[in-house]
């Protein structure tokens, strides 16, 4: 599934339901979410995160397709506010 900005935004706050975001995660690097990208660029593309802190933004992906857990996409930033890592997490 390709990245769809409007579709991503429509899933904001969907922590435990089925979400289209999970299918888009593999394409986020093609959309510009790469190591070195500024936080402003990430937020312009993905919108406000579902959770945030000084060094990371978290976007909910909803219920895992492979089990009874929930997934989120965590984007970490370095001291300059640039992406240092991004990964899917299960909880």
Ordered structural domains, the chain, with CATH: 5-90 (3.30.1450.10)
Q: Cα 55 from chain centroid? A: 14
pLDDT for residue 15:
75
Per-residue model confidence (pLDDT) at position 53: 95
| Residue in the structure block whose two tokens are 């935004």 | 9
Average pLDDT, the chain: 91
In the chain, % helix, strand, coil (3-state, to 5) comes to 25, 30, 40
Three-state DSSP state, 30 = helix
pLDDT of residue 67 exceeding 70, the answer is no
DSSP type of residue 50? S
pLDDT digits (tens, 9 = 90+) for 29-65: 999 999 999 999 999 999 999 999 999 999 999 876 6
- In this prediction the pTM is 0.89
14 near 66, Cβ under 8 Å? no
Q: What is the pLDDT of residue 18?
A: 80
Phi then psi for residue 63, to 5 deg, are: -70, 140
């Amino acid at each position: 599934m390709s990245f769809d900005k409007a579709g991503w935004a429509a899933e904001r706050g969907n922590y435990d339901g089925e979400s289209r975001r999970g299918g888009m995660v593999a394409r986020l690097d093609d959309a510009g979410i790469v190591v070195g990208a500024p936080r402003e660029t990430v937020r312009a593309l993905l919108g406000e995160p579902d959770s945030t802190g000084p060094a990371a933004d978290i976007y909910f992906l909803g219920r895992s397709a492979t089990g009874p857990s929930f997934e989120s996409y965590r984007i970490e930033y370095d001291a300059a506010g640039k992406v240092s890592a991004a990964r899917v997490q299960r909880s």
